[in-house]
Chains A and B, each alone.
Chain A
Amino acid sequence: MSKIITLLKKDFLLELRQQHTFFGILLYVASTIFVLYLAMGQPESTVYNGLFWMIQLFVCVNAVAKSFMQESHGRMLYFYSIVSPIQFIISKIIYSTVIMLLMVLLSLVLFRILLGNPVMNELQFIGIACLGGLSLSLVFTLMSAIAAKANQNAAIMAILGFPLIIPQLLLLIRLSKSAYGEVFREGAILQISLLLTGLDLLVIVLSIVLFPFLWRD
């Protein structure tokens, strides 16, 4: 446990010292949303919803990708000698989830400012957005670990991750329609949320089980 905290501390310290990466992604989000605003003004809810999740997807690819790719081969060898793979993957999962949740909340604010606010149930939408950020970052953390093994190729991460994330993304897009005031069959919202949480748990368990096989070279 203390090793996980140390690893986390190292990651966040690096984040604080090299702020250009964090702000780089933030700038990327802001300029994308600004271009969207210039292109279409304030869209209606279906378009808004679709755009929101697409932006989250691309933010996630950029933000989470570096969690493994920033580690050089030598540094990985060092980690290999001091921590167990399970501690390592857990710390990476927590790190990328925190970064992703920050990004989700910041882009929510930017969406609110620039693209208007068709959301009727604010709190619910924030909750769904956080759940979505969690799902995205969990899947892409393991994909980033795989892509880092495949010759540090960033394109491979998108190729691997996009088809895998579609089921969750479809569920999220459907679920967030409830926050725009669409009426759902009774119990459907709870059902979909539970399904998403279940998928998240499944991804965490799979990451912990599979990562030890990935990381030894």
Chain B
Amino acid sequence: MQLKWWKILCIIFMFLTFTAGFLIPVPIIGNLHQSIRNFFFHVPMWFGQMGLLTLSLAYSIAYLRTQNLKYDIYASEFAKTGIIFGILGLATGSIWAKYTWGEFWSNDPKQIAAAIAVLIYLAYIVLRGSMTDFDKRARVSSVYNIFAYFIYIPLIMILPRLVQSLHPGGMEGAKGGGNPALGGDSLDATMRLIFWPAVFGWLLLGIWISSLKIRLSLLVNKNLIHE
């Protein structure tokens, strides 16, 4: 087993997230109190999900260009890990919401958009399951994956900015709009120092998980793939 540099980086970042993330002093903002530490877990989930789904899109395009089944396996495994990150993001978000907004689920536009995003990609898995022919499955699901991604981006990036939201950065947010994920200056310098490593740490962890599943899937389908 080889330990590549990015895997070492991932371990360091995750270690940093789980130690310093719980230990550093944090600014007390509103009713967030210590729960602001969820910033190191909840928000990176969405960065991770976006990153993994973008990789999935890239491999779907690569499949359509080359017709190499290998890329289809890459795309599907990245999408599956993306779904897991989405579900984890919803879960961490709901727990956070319970202690700051009072409810696990309060029909916030971003909660709805995130739930729909998970549904869209679950439909991708269902679509894959509905076909038995490998080439057809790869082609049709790549087309759906590309289409879904371009619907998903406006859903998650534009819609929440148009409506009122409990999340920071909604239409009537603190500064009258902005990035839906990051509430402007709510992070202080030390938090930022942990936050960005946490984002890349979780993303790398997602890629690591997917790469293990891809290796397994490539071995299972060994006789289908010709180099």
- What number of A-B contacts does a CB cutoff of 8 Å give? 75
A150 with B142: in contact, given A156-B126, A163-B123, A206-B147 (CB under 8 Å)?
no
A167 with B139: in contact, given A160-B144, A202-B150 (CB under 8 Å)?
no
The reply to whether the CB of A199 lies closer than 8 angstroms to some CB of chain B is yes
**Which one, B2-10, B49-57, B153-161, B186-194, is touching chain A?**
B153-161
Name the residue in A159, A167, A213 with the highest tally of chain B Cβ atoms < 10 Å from its Cβ.
A167
Q: Are B130 and A192 in contact (CB under 8 A)?
A: no
Measured between beta carbons, the chain B residues less than 8 angstroms from A188 are 162
List the B residue with the shortest CB-CB distance to A158: B123
The reply to whether the CB of A121 lies closer than 8 angstroms to some CB of chain B is no
Q: Are B126 and A159 in contact (CB under 8 A)?
A: yes
Query: Which one, B119, B131, B151, B155, contacts A150 given CB within 8 A?
Result: B131
Q: Are B131 and A151 in contact (CB under 8 A)?
A: yes
The reply to whether the CB of B175 lies closer than 8 angstroms to some CB of chain A is no
Chain B residues touching A, majority SS: helix
The reply to whether the CB of A60 lies closer than 8 angstroms to some CB of chain B is no
Measured between beta carbons, the chain A residues less than 8 angstroms from B151 are 139, 164, 167, 199, 203
Quick one: CB contact mask for A118-162 with B, threshold 8 Å, 1 for yes?
Answer: 000000000000000000000100100010011101001001101
Measured between beta carbons, the chain A residues less than 8 angstroms from B112 are 170
Q: Are B140 and A163 in contact (CB under 8 A)?
A: no
Q: Are A146 and B155 in contact (CB under 8 A)?
A: no
Instruction: Tell me, rounded to whole Å, the shortest Cβ–Cβ distance linking A214 to chain B.
Output: 5
Q: Give the residues from 167 to 221 in chain B that come closer than 8 angstroms, CB to CB, to chain A.
A: none
Q: Are A170 and B159 in contact (CB under 8 A)?
A: yes
Quick one: CB contact mask for A60-78 with B, threshold 8 Å, 1 for yes?
Answer: 0000000000000000000
Measured between beta carbons, the chain B residues less than 8 angstroms from A46 are none
The reply to whether the CB of B95 lies closer than 8 angstroms to some CB of chain A is no
- Cα–Cα distance between A40 and B144 once the two chains are bound (Å): 39
Q: Are A206 and B150 in contact (CB under 8 A)?
A: yes
Can you sample 27 A-B contacts with CB below 8 Å? A139-B151, A142-B147, A146-B127, A150-B127, A150-B131, A150-B140, A156-B130, A162-B119, A163-B116, A163-B119, A164-B123, A164-B147, A167-B113, A167-B116, A167-B151, A167-B154, A167-B155, A188-B162, A195-B154, A195-B158, A199-B151, A206-B146, A206-B147, A210-B146, A213-B64, A213-B139, A217-B136
Q: Identify the B interface with A (CB < 8 A).
A: 64, 112-113, 116, 119-120, 122-123, 126-127, 130-131, 136, 139-140, 142-144, 146-148, 150-151, 154-155, 158-159, 162-163
